Structure 1
């Protein structure tokens, strides 16, 4: 699941009121005294005091046209350009190999994006949510938080696959009824609830089944709606910063939904943690009485669970690094980062496949050949589905859920951008500024991608990847273009689980159902910047049993 740095910063860097040090470019650089490296200044739209390049940005369409703006600016300025918007500067790169210079320069505790999103950090401070804030901080606080989470989430992702598959099967069993027959849920909302059901099962061991209106409780439906609303309103606040400053309606709506999300999430995790602790204590007591063993040693044995597979909360309780109250506190930020960002990625995947029935038919044929109706439950099965992987990869190329990948500099850095004529250019950028990798440049450039506006998963099959090795188009296979959940030390905590959820649900749904655009659905949409990029308007879908 993507982290907040992946999903929040594209908007933040475009509209932030936070003042950072300006780029210092073209300064003397003795260590770059290579005659073939020229100190340079990046091209920039017309810039004004205080408001920077905001007029140019607004003339190009503003926030709602963010995706197209970054494509147009790449075509106009090339592989390097800079923007200055309301005091926030960003240096935009097209080449991920150059962006790697930033990744390699990061310290043990690189800066994440969460601390830049004031709506969240201020909510944490106001409610004394110290553990939640650690996940958005830096330094030892962040390292302590991440170290407590990593073993049972980032590293243990494969062990959750059977749990996710079980939930995906339940989701698929009601998809046709809920979306097409009873028309209880629009398909895009069904995907959001599906992401919620899968991740809550990972968290606490059982799904809340919000995709099934016949069994979902009103409280759980309100829970999922609150997490969606808090996430969405955050995006609107980032493009309307004065609303927060003056305590307007948007900021009030944000606080109401954050409070609901925390109340529900804390209750869910606290109950799960208390039950897990009680189960472990009962098991240890029984073992002690029968075998005379030390209780402390007994707690270190296998994780005790009431499910077929230990949940994330049960594993945290067993590990003992966090108290049950602390485990309860981490639930809301993990849910918002994990559920909504995964749903955005899935919404583009299903829209692309519904819009390209030939590709969907090829995917269904692969799933039938490899799984033959079975669930996707192992990494080995995942690796046997190259066309599914290619569909996900092509969807990310054509319709990424975010415009740019952002890194904020901890220290000054000299970026060297090689040119084809053998003359390279260097750019000196000061600490505190942001360097962005443009996901709307090279991935949409016909010099590197044939027919870039078309959805063609075949371009990411292993044979196609092998064929372009040693050619300029090989750049499309760089890891920075392949993963929607970030790279480096601050890569999203739940990224591996999110990838598994996306593949497992797609494998189940496309085996069971044919998903198409409804006849009366809109036929045109654009990638509109909300908190992340979303099809606007999102078309209606029909879910029909696959024959």
Structure 2
């Protein structure tokens, strides 16, 4: 690394002279805005490209692998491993729209300007690359297995992606699951018929999302929908929670698991082994059913679609379904909890949504493709809720195979680049009144709100590597929300004002959220 004693440039224009003056100041004595000023000088002068080492960010001991990040957490600061987005936001506030920090052993560059997001995406590799995280790398090496679709790269990723997305990413493929998802949503709504309150809604929604994923992935009902005064936490749900907890916390533990099977590694491996084994059992049972009886008339499932594809091996199918299972349960339940909270908090928005639902959605029965296409305000509410509370901590990432220049700094090839979409979505430069829940900003014919940058809001990523479960997640959220709010009006108890979130693999509510139910 270059010495931190270098001088920064600040551009000023003295009143007594039309000439531009340059002031030299030491970075350690310079306030936050001076660093931004230095970047502005680089952009204006454009006379040299600055090296990677000069990208601002925590310095000194904070640049050490693993230890540097740990020292920025409690008890040394007020931050914890559960508020990664706040930690990154503090960096971007201090250092500007581009900064760097070490996570684990590797360097990461954090961006908040959607123009830079776009530039990186436009320069993406032939096979968009996301680095394999160390915990997955160690696990797959020890178990002699291949990672799932989310951790694959290069041509192997493209081959599996092209085949798998035909079964799950295309809306036409998802439409055949509408009767199944509608049936589960009706059962979920009926659970609260005659009740006056839903307590700990996240746990109830985890039941719905688990039941939906089980039916869509494997064509079986898991029996997760419980009574209104109860919640069920199946073994699958418990292992998914542990799996995601370990996955999200791998940067905050010393990597002893690389040397031996540490308690942290054993905890992760136990859950990963269980989910892999369970997925394998469903694949085996499905193959047995195909061999014993005709499959004509059976319920649709991703497993059925994929197993009939000669281009997919059993291993391909198993690890793809494991990704959908692990990613689809927690993320759907958490984002739906946030959406319902925003609508219960902003009852005027909920009332406008009900007017739309009353015209197109029946209290019970199938929500078909035509109906879902007739709900623009619902989709605007979902999009706004994603903006207000971004579904993943910070945002997605890329690693290019060539150098790129951003904000006047040279980013070397193979550097991890993070799009801080969750922070961008809270910036008034791109969204008016960013702290408010305003679905109208996504209605095309609403002229009050000016268009925002196309890359300022990308909750599912962008391009060929965007979330493969996007269509499935959006469909589940649309149907369940429609059913709930068509039957009930939700308001918040007096004691509920805000939700506290925990940043793990997904942003998950920590505080228990409850609703008062008013029967329609």
| 474, 488, 505: which one aligns with 2:452 | 474
The question of 1:306 aligning with 2:298 is answered yes
Aligned twin of 2:205: 191
Q: Deviations over 1:172-215 (max 9, x none)?
A: 2224589958x7xx31111122111112211122432312359x
Q: How does 1:393-472 map to 2 (within 5 A)?
A: 393-417=383-407, 426-464=408-446, 466-469=447-450
The question of 1:546 aligning with 2:516 is answered no
What is the rounded CA distance, in whole Å, between the counterparts of 1:173 and 1:68 in structure 2? 39
What is the rounded CA distance, in whole Å, between the counterparts of 1:56 and 1:82 in structure 2? 14
Change over 3 Å in CA distance of 1:211–1:84 after alignment to 2: same
Contact 1:517 1:542 in 2 (8 A): yes
Aligned twin of 1:322: 312
- Greater share of helix residues, 1 or 2? 1
Root-mean-square deviation (CA, aligned residues, Å) is 3.3
Contact 1:416 1:427 in 2 (8 A): yes
What is the rounded CA distance, in whole Å, between the counterparts of 2:297 and 2:118 in structure 1? 42
Q: Deviations over 1:114-167 (max 9, x none)?
A: x22x3334333433433x546522122222222331211112223322322222
Q: Deviations over 1:100-120 (max 9, x none)?
A: 12112222212135x22x333
Between 1 and 2, higher relative CO (CA 8 Å, sep ≥ 6) is seen in 1
Aligned twin of 2:490: 515
| 502, 505, 511: which one aligns with 1:531 | 505
| 460, 465, 473: which one aligns with 1:490 | 465
Change over 3 Å in CA distance of 1:133–1:178 after alignment to 2: farther
What is the rounded CA distance, in whole Å, between the counterparts of 1:346 and 1:506 in structure 2? 8
Aligned residue pairs total 467
The question of 1:123 aligning with 2:139 is answered yes
Q: How does 1:189-228 map to 2 (within 5 A)?
A: 189-212=203-226, 221-228=234-241
Aligned twin of 2:332: 342
Contact 1:82 1:89 in 2 (8 A): yes
| 283, 288, 307: which one aligns with 1:269 | 283
What is the rounded CA distance, in whole Å, between the counterparts of 2:311 and 2:378 in structure 1? 38
1:429 is displaced (CA, Å) by 0.7
Change over 3 Å in CA distance of 1:244–1:359 after alignment to 2: farther
Q: TM-score when scaled to structure 2?
A: 0.79
The question of 1:39 aligning with 2:49 is answered yes
Long gaps (5+) in structure 1: 1-31, 284-303, 418-425
Which region of structure 1 is more displaced relative to structure 2, 223-232 or 68-77? 68-77
Change over 3 Å in CA distance of 1:134–1:154 after alignment to 2: closer
Contact 1:376 1:504 in 2 (8 A): no
Aligned twin of 2:24: none
1:522 is displaced (CA, Å) by 5.1
| 343, 354, 366: which one aligns with 1:353 | 343
Long gaps (5+) in structure 2: 1-41
Aligned twin of 2:30: none
1:486 is displaced (CA, Å) by 1.4
Which region of structure 1 is more displaced relative to structure 2, 163-172 or 376-385? 376-385
1:230 is displaced (CA, Å) by 1.8
1:326 is displaced (CA, Å) by 5.1
Aligned twin of 1:422: none
Contact 1:513 1:543 in 2 (8 A): no
